[in-house]
Structure 1
Amino acid sequence: MKKLPIFKALEHDRWVKPFLRQYKKSLIIAIFLGIMTYVAGAGLMFTSGYLISKAATKPENILLIYVPIVLTRAFGIARPTFRYLERLVSHNWVLKMTSKLRQRLYDSLEQDAVFFNSKYQLGDILGLLSDDVSHIQNLYLRSIFPMLVSWGLYTIIVVGLGVLSPIMGLWMLLVFGLIIFAIPIWSVLVNGARQVYRKQLQDQLYVDLTDNVMGVADWVLSGRSNEYLKLHVASQNKLLDVHLQMAKFERMRDFCLQILYLLGIVSLIVWGAATFGGHPSQMTNWIAAFTLAAFPVVDALAQLPGAAQETNVYQDSLVRLNDLPVPTKEEAKKVAIEAPYDLTLTNVHYTYPNTSREILRGLNLQIHAGEKLAILGKSGSGKSTLATLIRGDRKPNSGSIELNGVATSEFGDQITNYIGVINQTPYLFNTSIANNLRLGNEEATDEQLWDVLERVGLANMVKKLPNQLETMVQEAGLRFSGGERHRLALARILLKDAPIILLDEPTVGLDPITEQAVINTIMTQLKDKTLIWITHHLQGIDLMDQVIFIEDGELNMQGSPAELWKNEERYRQLKKADQGL
């Protein structure tokens, strides 16, 4: 028998089955509470139906009324209680599972984080982070959990009725089996394929629309605007046809479900009346009881076909996640080096994976402790690649980059103790100023925070804010200007107190006045540090001890600003052009 796609994806799964085993106790408790919620609901409706019909007749004994009243109250209290407990347990289970899923995803991606540009498109990364984990979470919540609860109810119904009447038990085994198994599988096989096709059409429509809108001027100039509209309308019509086919199938499927529900309810009515109805006056009591008791069970089963159909969407996410590398947890060796800290680059060659172009070719460089080095070059020359190699994020294909004789790639997370980074777009998280600053030093006191804010020239500004250090910076730090964000990033670096600071075009996008102010602040506050300044122009270049130009992966010019001005005509031209002379 051909396996359903979701079961194929689960055969070698590392993302769903492990967490089912890891949190099986919480899952079992949540399923039990979920089943009991519907059992209490069915009991409430059963006793209510019996009580209403019995109260309309003269009871032979007051207990025939009193007992249903007590049971109705008991089931009425039990149902929300079980529901509340089930939500507590299931949400706790889901939150623990989701946190582990995200941690595992980040661990998997972190291994190739520095290769994103070469291995993944940005959309793939965003898809992994925003959609796939949510899909796996929905696979638990909307498919696995309801399925297991339904199976539990199915077992209780069949076994319970089978004890009272084997024939009725077998009949319910068939009727509810069609609802729980046959209809969902039918939905997966028929509408699931259409769902996959619809997703393909939507993706293609998005790509075509994006490409055509970007090139709309060419369509108009070439006189083919009507052709573009026809292509777009044709694609939309295909998508609409799939929507209509899916809606038509869902109506037919829901009709079949209603027929099966009706068949099950009528069967219960007839069987209940025949089994428990001693005479016609008592028959109505059991008709109401069994009819109403069936509706909570129907509610539990009604969501299964739609949930089963969606497993095709989850399947894509499951396959993509399982294609990620298995995260490895290698304990980094403790690196112990002492000041002064010298960086040595020896015959460094680097080529990105799956490419043939060599980014760096035979680079040799010595950076002494306390030295100020500027690295210049046009876009694509290898400046940023050199920065990632210096940080140890990448390993050179040949040659070495060493800090006091130890390859920077061997430091692991310890590299942050020696090399701090200020990027061209410092990121601030949507939390307080204090929390953003403490990324540099989690143990920093408020006094230390105010000290670094004073050093970077932001103390007076922060004191005027409504909540001062506890003021929220808004998403991506939008509360602050570009210059202020760079100063806050510098404050984090000062808290970290790393001996080597790598500045990766930290003043890009700033106006000349703000740029110069930021440069002056950086140079003043980091005067005792080793600075490696990656830039594309020569603002503040005279403050450097050494300047190198990288072109086509090689050192093209090297020397102090004064030496280059004296000996290199090209440097003089670049300096004049940068100053607008």
Structure 2
Amino acid sequence: MFNKLPFLQALKTDQWVRPFLKHYRKTLYLAIFLGILTFICAGGLMFTSGYLITKSATPPENILLVYVPIVLTRAFGICRPVLHYLERLTSHNWVFKMTSEFRKKMYDALERDAVFFSNKYRLGDILGLLSEDVAHIQNLYLRTLFPFFTVCGLYVFIIISLGIIAWPFALWMLILYGLLILALPLWSVIVNGARQEYEKQVKNDLYLDLTDNVMGVFDWIFSKRTADYLKRHQENEAELLKAQAKMRSFERIRDLLGQLVFLVIILSVLVWASWAFGKSGSDQINYIAAFVLCVFPLADAFIPLPNAAQETNIYLDSIKRLNALPTPEIPQKAPEIIAPYTLKIKDMTYIYPGGKVPVLSGIDLTLMPGEKIALLGRSGSGKSTLASLIRGDLEPTSGQIKLNQVPVKAFGDEIARYIGVIQQTPYLFNTTIANNIRLGNETASDAEIWEVLQRVGLEKLIKKLPQGLETLVDEAGLRFSGGERHRLALARILLKDAPVIILDEPTVGLDPITEQALITTFLDVLQDKTLLWITHHLQGIEAMDQIIFIEDGQIEMQGTPEELIKNERFQKLKRADEGR
């Protein structure tokens, strides 16, 4: 029966919850041990207090007869909160360590599909993965798994301890506590789990129905069916309230049964203790109250278990969504290569996942050290996709892209050491100018930053600002113009000192004067770099070593500016670009 539970079935193939339990098992064992000690101290406190009260009421013939219980009462009274604090500290530290690694693993998994976010995930799914699912897994550890493991350990301790004293009574306690730790939680998962699933389905249907109706509210009004709309919504809402009422009713009955089972445990302990220690004239009669009172703190451990088990149904969707993510690859050490750097693309074809038509087909291209190549084509011709492939963000469907005979994919994040990119809209973070530029080299000094700012023509502008390099850049760099943002991005690239630079249409949206000034800056500053300039303009391409035209994913024209100027088709494109 247990193996058929959806939650346990999901855990069989889980790669997100179980691995972290194993990885941090030592901390988990310590937290469980401290949790068990906390309840033992709570029970010990009540035990010694009960014994002390009854013994003091006799009264004792000698104060020494109650001295030990007094000391133990103080010791248990101090140890209980201290151990409880240490247990919380350890268990939360355990959970935060795991969720920190958990988030890193999830971000790595999402990063692999970052290019396809808009195709594979809705925005709500992504936000759910990043916030709701992480919170659910954190609660799964803290509110379900950890309490369950702790209570299991406590359960074993209780039964073994009672077995030493009176094994028949220990068997009876084994059954009663078993109802609290196994039967009621299982009943909650089976009965209310199905109701939770139904409630979620009704909520989703209600939300979709409400959204559709609100979007088409004028149709309802014009067709004079407003009453029908209200009736339909009220019926759906009533169905949801009915499902929730059934869940609350079940929880009340279940909690009542749990309390009744615990009452039976208390009465059983009272009967057993009275039989074992209540003989007339016996000095052991004081143990009756001690054993009965020590049971009460255990309610805090056992009673919440059914509700904690029921919550596993809430976490089930999160586990399924996370396991649907691609497994992040184990990072390998990036290969080391030395200058000069040659980028070679051989018979490369790329088809987007789920697509059938190649975005790029049969591309052959070689960038020699220091060579400047302009890559032109209409929007959607595959130019930016080629840039992503060269950077290793995407992997070719067939063919090869190599840097010094090493596939670019093999470099991972270290590809930034060799290939830098300036995008159409370079992003600046809402921090200081210095911090934005230091993204290229975290150890760069202020002198090095001023040097690259001087090279890109921003030194005078930054020096005029009241706080200089410590001036805060507004969100997305809105303090600066489009051309200035591109220059700051160029300064970042120069600080990185990557040998191969990709300019991915950096002049889009700029006025002609700013565009020409920026092109001049790029060509001047990057003259010692290997340059791949992706553009759909012909302005400035005379300074390139080669010009390549891509159309429908294939190279249609290729040659030096001097060779292509004789081409009739190129001449038409040149005149159209110049507006003639």
Please give the TM-score of this superposition, normalised by the length of structure 2: 0.82
* Paired residues of 1:565 and 1:572 also in contact (CA < 8 A): no
Question: 1:178 aligns to what SS in structure 2?
Answer: helix
Query: Which residue of 1 is the match for residue 28 of structure 2?
Result: 27
Is the alpha carbon distance of 1:508 and 1:204 closer, same or farther for their aligned partners in structure 2, counting shifts above 3 Å?
Answer: farther
Q: Deviations over 1:424-449 (max 9, x none)?
A: 45455677765554432243334334
Query: Which residue of 1 is the match for residue 77 of structure 2?
Result: 76
Query: Which residue of 2 is the match for residue 440 of structure 1?
Result: 440
Q: Deviations over 1:298-331 (max 9, x none)?
A: 1112321121112123333333434444444474
Q: Which runs of 5+ in 1 are unaligned?
A: none
Question: 2:164 aligns to what SS in structure 1?
Answer: helix
* Paired residues of 2:277 and 2:288 also in contact (CA < 8 A): no
**Which has the higher mean CA deviation after the structures are superposed, 493-502 or 511-520?**
511-520
* Paired residues of 1:417 and 1:498 also in contact (CA < 8 A): yes
Query: Which residue of 2 is the match for residue 154 of structure 1?
Result: 155
Query: Which residue of 2 is the match for residue 317 of structure 1?
Result: 318
Question: 1:338 aligns to what SS in structure 2?
Answer: coil
Query: Which residue of 2 is the match for residue 186 of structure 1?
Result: 187
* Paired residues of 2:500 and 2:529 also in contact (CA < 8 A): yes
Task: Tell me the distance in 2 between the aligned counterparts of 1:135 and 1:39.
Answer: 30
Question: 1:130 aligns to what SS in structure 2?
Answer: helix
Deviation at 1:292, TM superposition (A): 4.1
Task: Tell me the distance in 1 between the aligned counterparts of 2:79 and 2:439.
Answer: 48
Say yes or no: does 1:358 pair with 2:345.
no
Deviation at 1:364, TM superposition (A): 4.6
Query: Which residue of 2 is the match for residue 177 of structure 1?
Result: 178
Is the alpha carbon distance of 1:227 and 1:157 closer, same or farther for their aligned partners in structure 2, counting shifts above 3 Å?
Answer: same
Is the alpha carbon distance of 1:541 and 1:228 closer, same or farther for their aligned partners in structure 2, counting shifts above 3 Å?
Answer: farther
Task: Tell me the distance in 1 between the aligned counterparts of 2:209 and 2:512.
Answer: 41
Deviation at 1:556, TM superposition (A): 5.8
* Paired residues of 1:335 and 1:414 also in contact (CA < 8 A): no
Amino acid at match of 1:386: L
Which structure 2 residues correspond to residues 394-473 of structure 1 after superposition, within 5 A? 394-403=394-403, 407-427=407-427, 436-453=436-453, 455=455, 457=458, 461=462, 469=470
Task: Tell me the distance in 2 between the aligned counterparts of 1:472 and 1:270.
Answer: 75
Task: Tell me the distance in 2 between the aligned counterparts of 1:45 and 1:482.
Answer: 72
Which structure 2 residues correspond to residues 20-419 of structure 1 after superposition, within 5 A? 20-52=21-53, 54-55=55-56, 58-116=59-117, 119-207=120-208, 232-277=233-278, 289-329=290-330, 331=332, 334=335, 336-339=337-340, 341-365=341-365, 367=367, 369-370=369-370, 372-403=372-403, 407-419=407-419
Is the alpha carbon distance of 1:144 and 1:57 closer, same or farther for their aligned partners in structure 2, counting shifts above 3 Å?
Answer: same
Task: Tell me the distance in 2 between the aligned counterparts of 1:461 and 1:7.
Answer: 60
Amino acid at match of 1:396: P
Task: Tell me the distance in 2 between the aligned counterparts of 1:467 and 1:294.
Answer: 69
Amino acid at match of 2:295: A
Deviation at 1:395, TM superposition (A): 3.5
* Paired residues of 2:334 and 2:414 also in contact (CA < 8 A): no
Task: Tell me the distance in 1 between the aligned counterparts of 2:213 and 2:466.
Answer: 47
Amino acid at match of 2:553: G
Task: Tell me the distance in 2 between the aligned counterparts of 1:528 and 1:230.
Answer: 74
Task: Tell me the distance in 2 between the aligned counterparts of 1:377 and 1:286.
Answer: 91
Question: 2:16 aligns to what SS in structure 1?
Answer: coil
Deviation at 1:247, TM superposition (A): 1.5
Query: Which residue of 1 is the match for residue 18 of structure 2?
Result: 17
Which structure 2 residues correspond to residues 447-526 of structure 1 after superposition, within 5 A? 447-453=447-453, 455=455, 457=458, 461=462, 469=470, 483=482, 486-506=486-506, 522=522, 525-526=525-526
Task: Tell me the distance in 2 between the aligned counterparts of 1:513 and 1:375.
Answer: 22
Amino acid at match of 1:423: Q
Task: Tell me the distance in 2 between the aligned counterparts of 1:498 and 1:62.
Answer: 84
* Paired residues of 1:118 and 1:352 also in contact (CA < 8 A): no
Q: CA RMSD in A?
A: 4.2
Task: Tell me the distance in 2 between the aligned counterparts of 1:552 and 1:60.
Answer: 104
Task: Tell me the distance in 1 between the aligned counterparts of 2:78 and 2:467.
Answer: 48
Is the alpha carbon distance of 1:357 and 1:152 closer, same or farther for their aligned partners in structure 2, counting shifts above 3 Å?
Answer: same
Is the alpha carbon distance of 1:59 and 1:400 closer, same or farther for their aligned partners in structure 2, counting shifts above 3 Å?
Answer: closer
Is the alpha carbon distance of 1:461 and 1:76 closer, same or farther for their aligned partners in structure 2, counting shifts above 3 Å?
Answer: farther
* Paired residues of 1:420 and 1:500 also in contact (CA < 8 A): yes
Task: Tell me the distance in 2 between the aligned counterparts of 1:433 and 1:262.
Answer: 68
Amino acid at match of 1:418: Y
**Which has the higher mean CA deviation after the structures are superposed, 324-333 or 42-51?**
324-333
Amino acid at match of 1:194: R
Deviation at 1:45, TM superposition (A): 2.9
**Which has the higher mean CA deviation after the structures are superposed, 458-467 or 531-540?**
458-467
Deviation at 1:144, TM superposition (A): 1.6
Task: Tell me the distance in 2 between the aligned counterparts of 1:164 and 1:255.
Answer: 31
Deviation at 1:185, TM superposition (A): 0.4
Task: Tell me the distance in 2 between the aligned counterparts of 1:151 and 1:370.
Answer: 68
Q: How many residues align?
A: 574
Deviation at 1:35, TM superposition (A): 0.5
Question: 2:294 aligns to what SS in structure 1?
Answer: helix
Amino acid at match of 1:502: I
Task: Tell me the distance in 2 between the aligned counterparts of 1:544 and 1:222.
Answer: 66
* Paired residues of 2:348 and 2:362 also in contact (CA < 8 A): yes
Deviation at 1:527, TM superposition (A): 4.5
* Paired residues of 1:392 and 1:412 also in contact (CA < 8 A): yes
Is the alpha carbon distance of 1:442 and 1:6 closer, same or farther for their aligned partners in structure 2, counting shifts above 3 Å?
Answer: same
Deviation at 1:32, TM superposition (A): 0.6
Q: Deviations over 1:456-507 (max 9, x none)?
A: 52786599677965x8878x65785575765554333122111222233446
Task: Tell me the distance in 1 between the aligned counterparts of 2:452 and 2:107.
Answer: 32
Q: Which runs of 5+ in 2 are unaligned?
A: none
* Paired residues of 1:501 and 1:531 also in contact (CA < 8 A): yes
Deviation at 1:194, TM superposition (A): 1.7
Is the alpha carbon distance of 1:424 and 1:320 closer, same or farther for their aligned partners in structure 2, counting shifts above 3 Å?
Answer: same
Task: Tell me the distance in 2 between the aligned counterparts of 1:486 and 1:401.
Answer: 27
* Paired residues of 1:347 and 1:363 also in contact (CA < 8 A): yes
Task: Tell me the distance in 1 between the aligned counterparts of 2:506 and 2:539.
Answer: 12
Deviation at 1:127, TM superposition (A): 3.8
Percent identity of equivalent pairs: 57
**Which has the higher mean CA deviation after the structures are superposed, 80-89 or 31-40?**
80-89
Task: Tell me the distance in 1 between the aligned counterparts of 2:335 and 2:32.
Answer: 46
Task: Tell me the distance in 2 between the aligned counterparts of 1:380 and 1:386.
Answer: 11
Amino acid at match of 2:101: K
* Paired residues of 2:541 and 2:561 also in contact (CA < 8 A): no
